[in-house]
Amino acid sequence: MPKNSKAQIFDAIKNFTKENKVSFHMPGHFGGILLPEKLKAENNIFAFDITEVEGLDYLHQPNGVIKNAQKLAAKAFGADKTFFLVNGSTVGVISMIMASVLPGEKILVQRNSHQSVISGLTIGRCKPVWMKPELVYGTLIATGISSQTLKKAILENPDAKAVLLTSPNYLGMTQDMQELICIAHENNLIVLVDEAHGAHFHFNSNLPSSSVDLGADIVTQSTHKNLPALTQTALLHTNGTRFEIQRLKTILSMLQSSSPSYLLMSSIDCCIEMVTEQGEELINKAIETAHYGRKILNEIDSVEVFNEELIGTKGIKDWDKTKLIIDVSKTEMSGFKIKSILHEKYRIEIEFASINYLLCLITAGNTKKDIDKLSHSLKEILLNRKENEMKIAQIKTKNLSIFARDLPDQKFTPSEVLYMNSKTVNLEEAIGKVSKNIITPYPPGIPYLCPGEIITKNLIREIEVLKINGALIQGIHNNTVEVISS
């Protein structure tokens, strides 16, 4: 028997939730507060945690309530068909790649894609052709790809089968999807869109257009990120017949649990009912609070908050006004450090920090009081910044982004390296060798290096800077990395 047999995760969550925190963080249901009334009103919600029984239909062969719920969802989002996902957009992304591109075929992929895209390319054994995104200098935020980039990739790869785009990015910036979809379709490419962060777009006229509305062929969206549904819930929408729908269904049933959670499916169902009725109003409330945040935070010395000015430049077509992107590049502190002080000292949880910026997710549950607390805390942190914190930040370099340089050389595809032998080496030794794994700051999980790519000196330097500034880098353990050994 282990000495300490207490439930570890439960205790940790209990501790985490008992404190009175200000949250600018996912999930979008804001600690349950924004969940649909129907779900909240249930006295024993655990009774919903059932398995497939007579009368409650089957996710993998729906013919009853699940079929009807998915039909209503398709209508609500303006799609031909919609599938409920109980393993996040992760399973949606993997499935849409595998359903559209056969093993060995090429797919054009925007480089700043989530790691689930790399998983899809690996399992689906397809050949990625990377497309470099535009970059907002100063903050080093990678945005969308230009139409020229897509046209060039098509010209150089006339045999490509599909294109995979991610819009919005983690920060809520969208690219010119209408134009990109049009170019892709003119060239007979299937358009796959990772819209994990845009499930709310369709429900508010002040937000960018959803790629479902713009005619993309398959689109995945996380309902737990920006809509009030439970974590792991997501949707996969389809339009038209450019791909084989039956193959998509088969893959979804292979990759999703054979015991899908009815609690999660009910949560998606009720969430859609709720946003169809109240989406415009709830999202407007969030936009109003975020707008207040932009005004107040912009008044802080050396802090700038992203606003409309960048629209139409740098691969940005539009943006999600419920997000606050706070540029701290001129504060001489790293975003990581500020995030950690906000958490430790002020009990403020923000969604994400990078070396140069902070990201806050604003929902209808946030108030102007939350923003005031953030603003006061940020002012205090910057006023009291310590010498050692500033020194670390001063190492920030101007070109500290993989997207500011040429993309790494790809020696093997991600699926080729999956079964190759590897060995663990220290970072200096790794230079010039082929990476076995994804190397990515987490969150958000946008790979710096994909499996099969060559590790460069620049990359190692960049990772070292990120690490001393407080970033968590997946794929690197105790300053070692796995490389292909044969």
Binding mask 127-166 for ligand PLP (x = CB under 6 A): ---------------------------------------x
Shortest approach of ligand PLP to residue 111 CB, angstroms? Answer: 13
Q: Is residue 12 helix, strand or coil?
A: helix
Does 261 bind ligand PLP (CB under 6 A)? Our answer is no
Closest separation between CB of residue 445 and ligand PLP, Å? 6
Stretch that binds ligand PLP, among 84-92, 198-206, 416-424, 450-458 (CB under 6 A): 84-92
Token reading at 180: 């990109």
255 binds ligand PLP (CB under 6 A): no
In the bound complex, which residue of the shown chain has the CB atom lying closest to ligand PLP? 88
Q: Is 282 in the site for ligand PLP (CB under 6 A)?
A: no
428: number of CA atoms within 13 Å, CB side? 0
- Residue closer to ligand PLP by CB (options 154, 439) is 439
444 scored as a contact of ligand PLP (CB under 6 A): yes
> Which position among 70, 90, 204, 238 is part of the footprint of ligand PLP (CB under 6 A)?
90
Q: What is the three-class DSSP state of 82?
A: strand
Q: Is 437 in the site for ligand PLP (CB under 6 A)?
A: no
Query: Least distance to ligand PLP from the beta carbon of 117, Å?
Result: 7
CA 444 to chain centre: 6
Q: Should residue 170 be labelled a site residue for ligand PLP when binding is judged by CB under 6 A?
A: yes
Task: Establish if 234 lies at the interface with ligand PLP (CB under 6 A).
Answer: yes
Q: Give the whole-angstrom CA distance, residue 242 versus residue 239.
A: 8
Q: In terms of CB distance, is 268 or 381 closer to ligand PLP?
A: 268
| Measured CA distances, 366 to 77, 169, 193, 266, 349 (Å) | 25, 22, 29, 25, 12
Closest Cα partner for 334 from 376, 404, 391, 399? 391
Strand bridging mode 218-222 / 190-194: parallel
C-alpha closest to that of 60 among 84, 79, 88, 80:
84
x-or-dash string of contact with ligand PLP, 91-130, rule CB under 6 A:
--x--------------------x-x--------------
Q: Which amino acid is at 362?
A: I
- Closer residue to ligand PLP in complex, CB, 118/484: 118
Contact 473, 442 (CB under 8 A): yes
DSSP 20: -
Between 88 and 365, CB nearer to ligand PLP: 88
Our finding on whether 237 is near ligand PLP (CB under 6 A) is no
* Residue closer to ligand PLP, measured from CB, 170 or 243: 170
The answer to whether residue 194 forms part of the interface with ligand PLP (CB under 6 A) is yes
Q: From the CB of 107, what's the least distance to ligand PLP, in Å?
A: 16
Which residues are bridge partners to 163 per DSSP? Answer: 108, 191
Number of residues that this document lists for the chain: 486
Which residue number, 272 or 430, has a Cβ lying nearer to ligand PLP?
A: 272
Distance between the two ends of the chain, CA-based, in angstroms?
Answer: 43
Classify burial at 384, counting beta carbons within 10 Å of its beta carbon; exposed 0-12, middle 13-18, buried 19 or more.
exposed
Compute the least distance from the CB of residue 333 to ligand PLP, in Å: 25
Q: What are the backbone angles phi and psi of residue 297, rounded to the nearest 5°?
A: -70, -30
> Which amino acid makes up residue 139?
T
Rounded Cα–Cα distance for residues 132 and 319 (Å): 20
Among 89, 146, 204, 413, binds ligand PLP (CB under 6 A): 89
- The residues binding ligand PLP (CB under 6 A) are 88-90, 93, 114, 116, 166, 170, 194, 196, 222, 234, 444-445
